[in-house]
């Protein structure tokens, strides 16, 4: 734990999460990632109940709503622990995209939407999804968004094609990003609208096969057609035209969650690499850990993971203190920096395991496949680099 970020509350909570995760989840994880979600779900449900019982449920929520009222910096550190095992976030109801939808609705949804959708979501009775990315257009360009929500009377009629809508399969509702005012300025064209998944015209075309698996349920990414999909105007979240502002707002904390989850994965992969180094007998009187190449990997990984953690926690701290807008350059920087560290650490750990590293007998192959997207989703690293550089070049000009 980083001494400067170790609050009293965190010092109490972290060991409880660690114990739960190591005792309840580690023993199941290899099995769970290698079966369909319909089989894993019920087992996970028991763990979710246990988490509730132990008051470990959704710690990011305010205390009066049953959470632990953690700051973003505190929650980030818990999120790292959850990240060390594939279903960690899910078991504590901290998983994307639900956590992002919860935070969004908490602030911007009407009372009736809150009652009908937010409450059961918080309680873990339903799941949700977030429908933003489109196959035909570069996500980094707001003007390129093609899905429309045309107002007719007191309804929005939504048409468009989305993909990579994570966990849509089995979700009760989607929050969809659609153009409500095509003639407005670029960042005021779109709105976020809640669409129950049983609405006519909400059609899941497929769970997209990714890295050899279409997946299902919570473990899937859907392609969705919105075909004259009608919802009441009151399903609007926030103001009409505020879609990009809300997306931006969602982004800061979301980035912290993701990055800390990645760091959790790094720590686990690192631990596996060290364990392998300690125990693999080379048959020539040395252990794998005696080889200098693997020593290099261990040392470099240790340094890089530490660096990544410091960067993310300082960014979280800044968001806590000054808000996400002030922290925007830091938020850009951690995206590509931590994703890069994640790739390097996973790759080294796999290589250290030899043939074992590509089998499903360890978690490494799961993460290798499921986390390659880290450099792509939420905007490819290249876009973040250009955007950060442009803001630097602009700021100092003055």
Query: Per rule CB under 8 A, is residue 344 in the interface with its own copies?
Result: no
Residue 122 neighbours by CB under 8 Å, 6+ apart: 58, 61, 65, 66, 93, 102
Handedness of CA 109, 111, 114, 117 (dihedral sign): negative
Own/partner long-range contacts of 63-70 (Cβ < 8 Å, ≥24 apart): 65/122, 66/122, 68/9, 68/13, 70/9, 70/10, 70/13
Nearer to its own copies, 103 or 213 (CB): 213
Can you tell me the distance from the alpha carbon of 379 to that of 384, in angstroms, rounded to the nearest whole number? 7
Nearer to its own copies, 144 or 184 (CB): 144
Rounded to a whole number of angstroms, the minimum distance from the CB of residue 207 to its own copies is 11
Nearer to its own copies, 22 or 271 (CB): 271
Query: Per rule CB under 8 A, is residue 68 in the interface with its own copies?
Result: no
Rounded to a whole number of angstroms, the minimum distance from the CB of residue 258 to its own copies is 16
Choose, by CB under 8 A, the member of 218, 262, 336, 367 that binds its own copies. 336
Please list every residue from 134 through 163 that binds its own copies, using CB under 8 A: 135, 137-138, 141, 143-144, 163
Nearer to its own copies, 36 or 232 (CB): 36
Choose, by CB under 8 A, the member of 19, 34, 45, 228 that binds its own copies. 34
Please list every residue from 198 through 217 that binds its own copies, using CB under 8 A: 208-213
Nearer to its own copies, 4 or 43 (CB): 4
Dihedral of the alpha carbons of 336, 342, 343, 348, in degrees to the nearest 10? 150
CA nearest neighbour of 387 among 339, 309, 319, 335: 335
Nearer to its own copies, 43 or 144 (CB): 144
101-120: burial string, b at 16+ Cβ within 10 Å, e else? bbbbbeebbeeebeebbbee
Question: Six-digit token pair at 319?
Answer: 């968001």
CA nearest neighbour of 173 among 104, 87, 81: 104
Total number of residues binding its own copies (CB under 8 A)? 89
Rounded to a whole number of angstroms, the minimum distance from the CB of residue 205 to its own copies is 13
Query: Per rule CB under 8 A, is residue 19 in the interface with its own copies?
Result: no
Choose, by CB under 8 A, the member of 3, 152, 154, 198 that binds its own copies. 3
Whether the ω angle into residue 359 lies within 30 degrees of 0, i.e. cis, is no
Neighbours of 43 (CB within 10 A): 13
Which burial class, exposed, middle or buried, applies to 203 when counting CB atoms under 10 A from its CB (0-12, 13-18, 19+)?
middle
Dihedral of the alpha carbons of 69, 17, 221, 325, in degrees to the nearest 10? 40
Site string for its own copies, 212-251 (x = CB under 8 A): xx--------------------------------------
Residues β-bridged to residue 150: 157
Nearer to its own copies, 125 or 396 (CB): 396
Can you tell me the distance from the alpha carbon of 171 to that of 265, in angstroms, rounded to the nearest whole number? 26
Please list every residue from 274 through 303 that binds its own copies, using CB under 8 A: 274, 277-278, 280-284, 289, 291-296, 298-300, 302-303
Query: Per rule CB under 8 A, is residue 346 in the interface with its own copies?
Result: no
Please list every residue from 161 through 180 that binds its own copies, using CB under 8 A: 163-164
Query: Per rule CB under 8 A, is residue 185 in the interface with its own copies?
Result: no
Rounded to a whole number of angstroms, the minimum distance from the CB of residue 300 to its own copies is 7
């Amino acid at each position: 734990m980083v001494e400067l970020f170790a609050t009293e509350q965190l010092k109490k909570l972290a060991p409880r999460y660690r114990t739960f995760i190591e005792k309840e989840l580690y023993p199941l994880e290899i099995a769970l990632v290698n079966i369909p979600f319909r089989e894993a779900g019920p087992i996970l449900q028991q763990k979710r109940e246990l988490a509730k019982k132990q008051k470990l449920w959704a710690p990011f929520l305010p205390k009066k709503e049953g959470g632990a009222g953690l700051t973003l910096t505190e929650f980030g550190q818990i999120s790292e622990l959850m990240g060390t095992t594939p279903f960690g976030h899910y078991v504590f109801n901290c998983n994307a995209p639900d956590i992002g939808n919860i935070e969004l609705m908490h602030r911007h949804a009407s009372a009736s939407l809150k009652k009908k959708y937010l409450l059961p979501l918080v309680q873990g009775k339903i799941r949700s999804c977030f429908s933003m990315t489109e196959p035909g257009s570069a996500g980094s360009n707001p003007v390129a968004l093609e899905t429309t929500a045309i107002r007719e009377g007191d309804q929005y009629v939504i048409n468009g094609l989305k993909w990579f809508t994570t966990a849509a399969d089995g979700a009760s509702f989607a929050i969809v990003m659609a153009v409500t005012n095509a003639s407005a300025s670029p960042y005021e064209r779109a709105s976020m609208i809640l669409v129950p998944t049983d609405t006519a015209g909400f059609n899941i075309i497929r769970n997209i096969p990714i890295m050899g698996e279409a997946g299902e349920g919570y473990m899937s990414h859907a392609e969705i057609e919105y075909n004259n999909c009608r919802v009441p105007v009151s399903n609007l979240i926030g103001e009409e035209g505020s879609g990009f502002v809300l997306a931006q707002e969602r982004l800061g904390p979301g980035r912290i969650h993701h990055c800390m989850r990645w760091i959790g994965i790094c720590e686990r992969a690192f631990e596996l690499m060290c364990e392998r180094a300690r125990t693999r007998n080379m048959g020539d009187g040395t252990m794998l850990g005696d080889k200098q190449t693997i020593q290099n990997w261990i040392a470099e990984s240790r340094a890089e993971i530490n660096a990544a953690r410091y960067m993310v926690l300082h960014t979280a701290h800044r968001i806590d203190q000054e808000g996400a807008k002030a922290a925007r350059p830091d938020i850009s920087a951690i995206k590509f920096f931590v994703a890069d560290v994640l790739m390097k650490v996973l790759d080294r750990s796999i290589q250290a395991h030899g043939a074992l590293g590509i089998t499903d007998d360890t978690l490494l192959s799961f993460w290798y496949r499921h986390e390659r997207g880290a450099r792509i989703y939420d905007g490819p690293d290249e876009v973040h680099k250009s955007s950060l550089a442009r803001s630097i070049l602009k700021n100092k000009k003055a």
